Structure formats: C-alpha cells, structure tokens
Amino acid sequence: MIVWRNGDLVDADAAVSTDDRGWLIGEGAFETLLVDAGRPAFLTAHLNRLRTGLRTFGIETPVEAGTILDAIAALARENSLNARAVCRITATHAGGPRGLAPSPLARARLVVSLAPVSDPPREMRVIVSSRRRSSGSSLNAFKCAGAYAENTLARIEAAKVDANEAIMLNERGDLACASAANIFLLTPSRLVTPRPDDGAMPGVVRGIVLEEANRLGFAIQEASLSPDRLAGSTLMLTNSIVGTARGMIEGVTNGGGDAAFDSLAAAYDKRLAEEWAAAL
C-alpha cells in the first residue's frame, strides 16, 4: 500500500521511522473517517477534533481540508480504491534527541492512509469490559495514539469471547464509551448517553445523532450512568466507520427502544447520504 506523508507518496512500510515519537511513546493524534469514491464524510468535524490533539501536543502543522482531499484522491488513484474506504489521518512529532519532552529539533509528521472497508454490521455482540477509562484525562477530547492501550485491551477481552465490542466503565464504575464507539441507551421517546466528563469521546457521529434526536423530538439526557441502566433499554453504538449499530449483551434484556433505534439510524443514514451528495 502507498501512503501520503508530508506531501509525498511513499510505501507504507517506509512511512514511519524509529525517531517517530508517535511510534516511540504515543505522542500523536489521529482521526479515522469514512470515504466513498474519494469523498470523506464530515471532514470538517474530524479536522476540528484533530486540531485539538495538535494543540495539546504542540504539533505545529497546518491540516487543511484541501490538503486532505488531495491526499485522499492521490491514494485512491495509487491504491485503486475507488469504492468505500476508511481514511486515517495521523499527526506526530519526529526527530530530535530521546526523552519525554519533544526537542526543538522535532518536526511535525502528517501521514494519511486509505484502506478498503467492508459493509458495517447493524448488530454487534457486546461485553462490559474489566478495563477502565480515566474520566479526567485531557486525552479524552481527541483520538490520542498513546491513550488507546486500555481500549485495545478491552477489545482483546471482547475478542476472546467472540464479541465485537467492549463497553468501558470509568474509574467510578460509570459507563464511559465502548473501545471504539460511543454508546446510547434508547427508550421509545428518550435518549441517554454518558457525559464527556465521564470519559465519553466527543464522537463525530455522536454529535450528529444528538442533533437528529433533538430534531425528532427525543428527550435527551447526558448523564452519569451505572451499568445497570443497560437493562431495559436498546443499546446503540456509533462511530464513523460503523455509523450506527445495535448492541446485544448476553444476559441483559435489551429492548424498549427498538423503534427509536430504527428512526435514529435512518436519520443518520440520511445525513450521510446528504454528505456524499454535497461533495459531488
């Protein structure tokens, strides 16, 4: 595979060097977004969140929509990916002497990759993980390479029992998010979701679902939620690649919000279709 790195097209195996601080110590921010025929979905929202990570780490590199669009077009051409794909944008520091604090000699490295993606599931088997997410971390506001170790361990825990996803609690035992998704609990007329202050990632699709729920007249609550709130509600998971999916937890009676799930999933699909059409 060919990737885009600081304006050049390079072989993926040569894209990251041993002086890359994202690889060495996780000092990097990234975004993953859905692409269809070269058109990225909700690019502005993704870049805004990425810039939060750049400011946090002091990575000084312009990340403009036009640059990313050109990179995606070049990668689609070079890798023959003209259908639906997933794009990852990664920004790190590279260079300078070793140590935790970046040297003035460190330089920004921006890498864009494109990979094929299969059709997303509409239902996912879910566990409640033993791994925890820190509610007070400044890294919760964006996708940080170094902060994904617990998420990875949670997903490994799920895979061991043939589950697709793992819900993570915070250090107080409240619901935070899934390993790679936001979570919503639905009843016929109400949508409840964990607060960012409880460890929820400010997901791009999460924001769209909240907008659509408000438009559809749902009562919306962002709250601290104990795991026992999972019972009796329909669990919805969202991220930029899956979109919306229904979560199924063994031994937990889900239900009551199936019609709400269907209406919100349809509303999101409509927003995504409008996004594709606007890019034509």
Write the CB contacts of 8 (distance below 8 Å, at least 6 apart in sequence).
Answer: none
pLDDT in tens, 112-167: 999 999 998 999 999 999 999 999 999 999 999 989 999 999 999 999 999 999 99
Query: Which DSSP string do the residues of 82-130 spell out, in sequence order?
Result: -SEEEEEEEEEEE-SSSSSSPPTT-EEEEEEEEEE-PPPPSEEEEEEEE
Q: Report pTM.
A: 0.94
The confidence score (pLDDT) of residue 239 equals: 98
Asked if 90 and 146 count as a contact pair (C-beta separation under 8 A), the reply is no
What domains are there in the chain, each with its CATH number?
2-116 (3.30.470.10), 123-276 (3.20.10.10)
The confidence score (pLDDT) of residue 103 equals: 84
The confidence score (pLDDT) of residue 190 equals: 95
pLDDT in tens, 210-249: 999 999 999 999 999 999 999 989 999 999 999 999 999 9
3-state class percentages of the chain: helix first, strand second, coil last, to nearest 5 = 35, 35, 35
pLDDT confidence band for 54 (50 / 70 / 90): very high
